[in-house]
Amino acid sequence: MPAHPDRLAGKRVLVTGGSRNLGRAIAVACTRAGARVAFTYSMNDDDAASAAAAVKEAGGDPLVFKGSVADAAHVDATVRAVVAAWGGLDVLVNNAGITQILPIALVEEADWDHVMSVNVKGAYLFARAALRPMIKARAGHILNIGAFGEGRVVHSPVHYAASKAALAGFTDALARDVGRYGILVNLVQPGLLATGLGQGSPQARLEEYLEQNPAQRFGTVEEVADVVVWLVSGANTFMTGVRVPVDGGA
């Protein structure tokens, strides 16, 4: 399902964690579908420059913002800057996320808090900020990037799985809360991908995943990004509060 060249024509899209892996693929796919794209990143300037170059190669002129998604001041300033530049915001993709491959006995309280602050608090802060222009326009899409590990077959670190389960609940509740404003809120649950956080899992777990997966392979960031483009486009007019697995049947 490659991105239709004008599926997001005129849309203003903000992607969190857009400098690498899936976030970068989403930013590029949205650009190719006709959107104006902004993205955030937290640390690596070289990755951000590379992602910006990829968006430009796809035909865009991205707005790029550095900061933590768990920092309310950064979040509010980012959304204000996008709205000031483009006159509004149509799509928010909450992609930023972190994990640690640790057994629960080695998870310190600070580790738990950090994963929760990025994976859950960050999504809340960006959604809260994005809803201001969306409610004013009485239209918009918020798409959260979850994970199959929240409720599927392969073992995941406890604090990561808990954060993604919280994000799924957040999606469900937010969809009900803002539906009356014409805003659709959904969750994409990627399986293990050929690049990204999941590849840090122990080799035995990666092999287990491939054995149990009907597709017998890892997904690609481009496959997930194409689903994201459809979900946040005008083609999706009535799906909200939905969890969409993109995992090869895992």
pLDDT at 14: 99
Q: How far is CA 51 from CA 9, 38, 48, 96, 104, in A?
A: 21, 11, 5, 14, 34
Question: Is 157's pLDDT higher than 90?
Answer: no
Torsion sign (Cα): 215, 237, 235, 75? negative
Span 51-110, pLDDT tens digits: 999 999 999 999 999 999 999 999 999 999 999 999 999 999 999 999 888 889 999 999
pLDDT at 249: 80
The dihedral over CA atoms of 228, 234, 240, 244, expressed in degrees to the nearest 10, equals -30
Does 124 participate in catalysis according to the annotation?
no
Average pLDDT, the chain: 92
Q: Measuring CA to CA, which residue among 118, 196, 189 is closest to residue 152?
A: 189
Question: Is 198's pLDDT higher than 80?
Answer: no
Distance CA 240, CA 12 (A): 19
Question: Is 8's pLDDT higher than 80?
Answer: yes
With cut-offs at 50, 70 and 90, classify the pLDDT of residue 197.
Answer: low
Got the DSSP string for 51-120? HHHHHHHTT---EEEES-TT-HHHHHHHHHHHHHHHS---EEEE---------GGG--HHHHHHHHIIII
Span 216-243, pLDDT tens digits: 888 899 999 999 999 999 999 999 999 9
Distance CA 153, CA 159 (A): 16
Domain ranges (residues) in the chain? 12-246
pLDDT at 153: 45
Distance CA 149, CA 131 (A): 28
Distance CA 9, CA 70 (A): 30
% of the chain exceeding 70 in pLDDT: 93
Distance CA 185, CA 164 (A): 15
Distance CA 75, CA 248 (A): 34
Q: In what order do the strands lie in the sheet with 12-15?
A: 63-66, 36-41, 12-15, 91-94, 140-145, 183-190, 243-246
| Options 41, 124, 160, 209, the catalytic residue | 160
pLDDT at 1: 47
| Six token digits for residue 53 | 């170059």
Superfamily of domain covering 12-246: NAD(P)-binding Rossmann-like Domain (3.40.50.720)
Distance CA 13, CA 232 (A): 9
